[in-house]
Amino acid sequence: MKFFSSIKYTFTAISYGVLLAVALLLLMPGLIPGLDDTSLATSLFKGSQAQQAPLSFAKAVSISSPAVVNIYSEQIEVNPQYGRKARKSTRLGSGVIMDTHGYILTNLHVIRQADLIQVLLQSGQIYPAELIGFDHYTDLAVLKVNASNLPVIPQKEQQTSLVGDIVLAIGNPLNLGQTVTQGIISATGRNGLSNTSYLEFLQMDAAINEGNSGGALINSNGILVGINSRKFTQSNPQLSIQGIFFAVPYQLAFKVMRQIIENGKVVRGWLGISTQNYHRELKGFVVDEIMNNSPAQAAGIKVGDVVYQIDNMLIDSVTSALDIIAETPPNTELTFKIYRQGNAIEAKVKIIELSN
Q: What are phi and psi of 149, to 5 degrees?
A: 55, 40
Residue 18 has pLDDT above 70, yes or no: no
Least confidently predicted of 95-99, 198-202, 336-340: 198-202
What is the pTM assigned to this prediction?
0.74
Q: What is the pLDDT of residue 40?
A: 47
The mean pLDDT value for 261-281 works out to 89
Using CA atoms, how far residue 201 sits from 63, 68, 196, 222, in Å, is 25, 20, 9, 20
Give the whole-angstrom CA distance, residue 119 versus residue 72.
Answer: 7
Q: What are phi and psi of 117, to 5 degrees?
A: -125, 125
Question: 23-73: per-residue pLDDT in tens?
Answer: 555 555 555 555 555 554 555 445 445 678 788 889 999 999 999 999 999
The mean pLDDT value for 163-192 works out to 86
Per the rule left: phi > 0, alpha: psi between -120 and 50, beta: everything else, 235 is alpha
Question: 132-165: per-residue pLDDT in tens?
Answer: 999 988 889 999 999 988 999 999 988 888 999 9
Least confidently predicted of 17-21, 169-173, 287-291, 348-352: 17-21
Q: What is the pLDDT of residue 50?
A: 64
Contact between residue 74 and residue 90 where contact means Cβ atoms under 8 Å apart = yes
Between the CA atoms of 309, 310, 313 and 315, what dihedral angle is there, to the nearest 10 degrees? -50
Give the closest residue to 349 by CA, choosing from 329, 333, 328, 330. Answer: 333
Length of the chain: 356
Question: 80-117: per-residue pLDDT in tens?
Answer: 665 566 677 888 899 999 999 999 999 998 998 888 99
Using CA atoms, how far residue 217 sits from 160, 251, 350, in Å, is 13, 13, 38
Of all helices (H) and strands (E), which one includes residue 91?
A: strand 87-97
Q: What is the pLDDT of residue 44?
A: 47
C-alpha count within 13 angstroms, C-beta hemisphere, residue 247: 40
Contact between residue 127 and residue 118 where contact means Cβ atoms under 8 Å apart = yes
| Confidence band, pLDDT 50/70/90 cuts, at residue 356 | low
Q: What is the pLDDT of residue 237?
A: 60
Q: What is the pLDDT of residue 175?
A: 82
Q: What is the pLDDT of residue 233?
A: 59
Residue 191 has pLDDT above 70, yes or no: no
Give the whole-angstrom CA distance, residue 288 versus residue 251.
Answer: 29
Query: What mean pLDDT value characterizes the chain?
Result: 82
Q: What is the pLDDT of residue 205?
A: 85
DSSP class per residue in 202-236: EEE-S---TTTTT-EEEETTS-EEEEEEEE---S-
Give the whole-angstrom CA distance, residue 187 versus residue 246.
Answer: 10
Q: What is the pLDDT of residue 130?
A: 94
Contact between residue 160 and residue 249 where contact means Cβ atoms under 8 Å apart = no
Least confidently predicted of 108-122, 153-167, 220-234, 272-286: 220-234
Residues serving a catalytic function are 109, 139, 213
C-alpha count within 13 angstroms, C-beta hemisphere, residue 49: 5
CB count within 10 Å of CB 282 equals: 15
Q: What is the pLDDT of residue 26?
A: 55
What is the sign, positive or negative, of the torsion defined by CA atoms of 343, 347, 351, 352? negative
